[in-house]
Amino acid sequence: MKPKLRIHHTAIFVMVGLIILVSRLAYIQLFATESFSKHHVNLIEESVQQRTQGIVLDNGRGRFVDRNGDPLYNDYYPSLILFPFLKQMEWPVDEVARIIGTRKSYLEETVQLAEGPVVLGGDQPLRLSETQMNELNDLKVPGIIATYYETDNNSISAEHFIGIVRENEELLKERYEEKLEKGYISTRTPIGITGLQRAFDEFLVQEGEAKLLYHVDNQGQPLFGLNVKYTAPSNPFYPLVINTTLEKKVQDEAERLIDESGLKKGGLVLLDIQSRDVLAMVSRPHMDMGNPFQNDGGKNYMILPQVPGSIFKIVTATAAIENVDLRGRRFNCDLNLYGDKPASRLLGQLDFVDSFAQSCNNTFAELANEMISVNDNIIDEYAEKLGLTTPVGWNGEVFHYRSFSHFPEEVASIIWKDERDKGAERAIAQTAIGQKEVRISPLAVANMVATIADDGRVKQVRGVDKIIYKNGAVLFEFPKQTLADEKLSPYTISKLQQLLREVVESGTGKVFRTLPYTVAGKSGTAEIGSTGYENKWFVGYFPVERPRYALVVVNMQVNSWETQTNDVFADMVKIIHNLNNDL
């Protein structure tokens, strides 16, 4: 190639490259300044941030509190924020120290060590009163600002109940395509993945942080004077607060108790019988926040169906009370489940009440086969009357949601997987005592016993009481709702209450006779396939005279000799009694 031609081609190549580069720069400067690349980066904000120091007061996502308004994580209260440029000016350190009741030297040292804005108290900020906050702000000193600040206490009460928040661009686009297109949120906005965080995500999703900002030069000195700017989303009603039904003191004690007991898999549910509110819910294993779905730690086992074992005899007993003449009838409890071999516990001839109290398998296998020979749907019908055939969590209409659920991950109970089992005596026998394919969640079990204690009223279980605006006004209040229209007869309910009480008086729950509250309930031991492990349950309500609480504890996949279930149930009753006495 001739030299001139080569130079000519090179010049054209360079010119085309420059045109492309200039065009790209022009596009970025003129058209993509607020939404650059697939990540929708705001270049103006990024350039400002290079010359900005600041502190995030809250991340803009809604918060969760317990029934009394106490935070379940990340507390939010008035705090004192000091800016580093105070070290270059005279400021009323004596007056500030007097207002907040601390040492002058502590304030001076905090400012001298500050490289950016700092919250007084560090990881555990000093909690100010409203009066102190107003007095400090009345000083009108640049760099001294008292305001509400969200603390990260690295501790979450009811981690599975509350759930987790993560960045998930695909899921975010699916949920909030319009908000994303309008720039209200970015692809990096965290969203709720599990628990209440998932259920209430649309009410919680952040549309911007609240910050205190000031601009600095390349030496870190303030530009444009000493002005500190407050920035936050313009809507004064947000972020919202989700007022849950939990009682934080009870929840914290329940978590401590479960962990100290050594219970590795399982947990507990505590319900208020009248309102059917969740007062405490603990699921184990613990959730690893760094990798929440590792080793099933992200699952809330309290809302997932488990093998119930003899807990299910409550259903079989209910059907028998209403459909079988039990007067004077006795059952051979020296026989096993199928009536063809000796039982592992030789209990002799027992009537119906004692059969329930001693959890005699043969009695309920015999009764179930007898009833199903007349009506093969009878177990299903009474499971429905006790609220077991559908999810039990609150579900209803909330604004544009036709079917809003407090527990979107809850799975309904299973009674039969194969309808042909209703024609097989052994399958019926196993189903009658909560084995075979029977699966019920601990939440549904607790609600079933609460239904019996509440004279047969089948209600939905609430996890949240109301949604509250930032200013304290109520956005939405969740009404108490029934789960099934048909109630069991007063006689049946009275008989079931007697059966559950007899378990504690003379049966498998005698260990609970000395508790400070009188308890009625039912134990359950479920074989887990051929693993050799068992699920161990106890569910009950108390005090019997005026039922207030329904509690279920389950220890999953354990050896037959392990006793954490009974220990946790008994200690939990004692804790609630002590807390009530302290109020």
The residues annotated with a catalytic role in the active site are 310
The span from the CA of 464 to the CA of 551, in Å, is 19
Q: Are 143 and 178 in contact (CB under 8 A)?
A: no
- Kindly provide the residue ranges of all beta strands, DSSP E only, lying in 40-104, ordered along the sequence: 52-58, 63-65, 76-82
- Name the residue among 298, 257, 296 with its Cα closest to residue 280: 257
- Name the residue among 143, 136, 141 with its Cα closest to residue 83: 143
In order, the DSSP letters of 213-274 are EEEB-TTSPBSSTT--EEE--S-TT-S-EEEES--HHHHHHHHHHHHHHT--SEEEEEEETT
Strand partners, 244: 464
What single-letter DSSP state applies at residue 509? T
**CA torsion angle 354 359 360 361 (round to 10):** 150
Task: Tell me phi and psi for residue 69, to 5 degrees.
Answer: 90, 5
Q: Are 440 and 312 in contact (CB under 8 A)?
A: yes
- Give me the sheet containing 144-150, strands edge to edge: 118-119, 76-82, 144-150
76-82 and 118-119: which strand pairing? antiparallel
* Number of other CB atoms surrounding residue 103 within 10 Å: 9
Task: Tell me phi and psi for residue 219, to 5 degrees.
Answer: -100, 0
Q: Which residue has the tokens 């079933």?
A: 448
Q: Which residues of 448-487 are buried (b: 16+ CB within 10 A; e: fewer)?
A: bbbbbbbebbbbbbbbbbebbeeeeeeeeebeeeebbeee
CB within 8 A of 78, min separation 6: which ones?
127, 128, 129, 130, 132, 133, 146, 147, 148, 149
* C-alpha radius of gyration, the chain, whole number: 31
The span from the CA of 283 to the CA of 68, in Å, is 22
End-to-end CA distance of the chain: 96
Packing angle of the helix pair 313-323, 361-372 (nearest 10 deg): 50
Q: Which residue has the tokens 């020979």?
A: 373
Strand partners, 145: 81
* Number of other CB atoms surrounding residue 516 within 10 Å: 14
DSSP SS3 for 118: strand
The span from the CA of 231 to the CA of 212, in Å, is 6
Tokens describing residue 203: 């009410």
The span from the CA of 364 to the CA of 216, in Å, is 78
